[in-house]
């Protein structure tokens, strides 16, 4: 039965294991039908390695209403092509691939502008609106534009970091913040995304990188990654501390990598005249924008859902050893141990966890 003849993606009787969301607080590692090709642009990928994202924790809490009972979670991973639809030309069975967290058709208005995050037939749908990567197999829509080839010999574990976290830190934080050589920048939040931002900010050689967080362990890690200064903001005096470090001037770029009002307003308070605030955080509430002081400060504020347009560039810098994504990986599990992996990742501070790798 060809793909064209299976328009509804009728389930075959083959089974696989997957991590399934069953409403707030409920998840299970259970049997699901193995996915089949539905459209000619799909590919079926056998997962080799995947990981868990902070967004997955939000989903599990019920914070993402679009995710419904029965959905397989996960939007990151590397795998091996099992089967491709008849229109797929960039990949064939047996190819190793990076799965992008963003699905892009390549032919809508947004994709043509490189704004894949808003693809008319894609965007962030994996592990959200369609079944995701925390499973033995996944069906990737628009495979030609949503997968990236892995050459023989590459370090596939490192490349899992290219699915989401590195392009997110780089595009939403570093590129949108317009980090330049000689800049003084602040990264607010030293979780995996903040640290991915730190690693990729080094591409532009800022003079000073100040990292702000509540967790001393993460700040310590930030130092080893290249932060020139760290500030523990638990005393509520981060603004004063930063202003002291910058001789009262503030920072050229303030990158918000948390997603709550307090950290965004911290960015407003530390950005210098002519500077940038680059928001990465996923916000659930509005924030107060102090235009009564900022209106005349010539600042730029940006928001962005990652487009993953920089994945090929990031890949080149991984291959040339200019970027070492494995620094972000702290724990390893078998995919079948995913419930335990969630426990570890869900208690990141206690476990000193950044990213976990799940191997199928």
> Segment 258-317, which members bind a copy of itself (CB under 8 A)?
259, 264, 273-274, 279, 281-292, 294-305, 307, 309, 312-314, 316-317
Q: Does 359 bind a copy of itself (CB under 8 A)?
A: no
Q: Binding to a copy of itself (CB under 8 A): which residues in 71-90?
A: 86-87, 89-90
Dist. CA 320–CA 176, nearest whole Å = 24
The stretch among 63-71, 103-111, 160-168, 336-344 that binds a copy of itself (CB under 8 A) is 103-111
Q: Assess contact for 118 and 101: CB atoms under 8 A.
A: no
The stretch among 44-52, 101-109, 158-166, 328-336 that binds a copy of itself (CB under 8 A) is 101-109
Tell the smallest beta-carbon distance from residue 69 to a copy of itself (Å). 24
Residue 153: Cβ within 10 Å count? 7
Positive or negative, the CA dihedral 85, 91, 92, 95 is negative
- Could you say which of 112, 237, 244, 332 contacts a copy of itself (CB under 8 A)? 112
Dist. CA 154–CA 315, nearest whole Å = 10
Tell me which residue of 335, 336, 334, 332 sits closest to 344, measured CA to CA.
Answer: 332
Q: Does 157 bind a copy of itself (CB under 8 A)?
A: no
Tell the smallest beta-carbon distance from residue 150 to a copy of itself (Å). 16
Half-sphere exposure of 151 (CA within 13 A, CB side): 5
196 vs 338, beta carbon nearer a copy of itself: 196
* Residue 136 vs residues 132, 169, 324, 334: alpha-carbon distances, Å: 10, 27, 27, 11
Residue 119: Cβ within 10 Å count? 25
The stretch among 20-28, 68-76, 105-113, 214-222 that binds a copy of itself (CB under 8 A) is 105-113
233 vs 311, beta carbon nearer a copy of itself: 311
Q: Assess contact for 90 and 99: CB atoms under 8 A.
A: no
Q: Binding to a copy of itself (CB under 8 A): which residues in 125-144?
A: 144
135 vs 169, beta carbon nearer a copy of itself: 169
Q: Does 61 bind a copy of itself (CB under 8 A)?
A: no
Tell the smallest beta-carbon distance from residue 259 to a copy of itself (Å). 8
Burial class (CB in 10 A: 0-12, 13-18, 19+), 151: exposed
Q: Does 207 bind a copy of itself (CB under 8 A)?
A: yes
């Amino acid at each position: 039965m060809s793909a064209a003849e299976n328009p509804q993606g009728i389930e075959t009787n083959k089974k696989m294991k997957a991590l399934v969301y069953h409403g707030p607080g409920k998840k299970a590692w259970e049997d699901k039908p193995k996915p089949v090709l539905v459209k000619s642009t799909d590919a079926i990928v056998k997962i080799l390695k995947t990981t868990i994202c902070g967004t997955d924790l939000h989903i599990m809490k019920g914070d993402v209403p679009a995710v419904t009972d029965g959905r397989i979670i996960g939007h990151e991973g590397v795998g091996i092509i099992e089967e491709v639809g008849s229109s797929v030309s960039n990949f064939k069975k047996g190819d190793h691939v990076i799965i992008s967290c963003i699905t892009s058709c390549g032919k809508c208005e947004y994709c043509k502008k490189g704004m894949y995050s808003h693809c008319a037939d894609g965007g962030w749908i994996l592990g959200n609106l369609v079944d995701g990567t925390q499973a033995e197999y996944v069906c990737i829509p628009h495979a030609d534009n949503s997968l990236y080839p892995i050459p023989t010999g590459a370090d596939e574990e490192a490349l899992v970091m290219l699915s989401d976290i590195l392009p997110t830190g780089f595009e939403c934080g570093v590129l949108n913040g317009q980090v330049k050589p000689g800049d003084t920048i602040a990264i607010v939040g030293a979780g995996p995304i903040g640290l991915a931002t730190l690693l990729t900010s080094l591409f532009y050689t800022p003079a000073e990188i100040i990292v702000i967080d509540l967790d001393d362990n993460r700040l310590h890690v930030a130092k080893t990654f290249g932060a020139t200064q760290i500030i523990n903001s638990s005393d509520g005096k981060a603004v004063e501390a930063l202003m002291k470090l910058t001789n009262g001037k503030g920072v050229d770029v303030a990158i918000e990598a948390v997603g709550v009002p307090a950290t965004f307003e911290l960015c407003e308070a530390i950005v210098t005249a002519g500077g940038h605030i680059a928001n990465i955080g996923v916000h659930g509430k509005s924030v107060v924008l102090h235009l009564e002081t900022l209106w005349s400060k010539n600042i730029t504020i940006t928001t962005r859902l990652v487009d993953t347009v920089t994945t090929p560039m990031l890949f080149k810098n991984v291959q040339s050893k200019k970027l070492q994504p494995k620094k972000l990986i702290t724990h390893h599990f078998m995919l079948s141990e995913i419930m335990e992996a969630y426990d570890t990742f869900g208690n990141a501070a206690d476990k000193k966890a950044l990213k976990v790798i799940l191997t199928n």
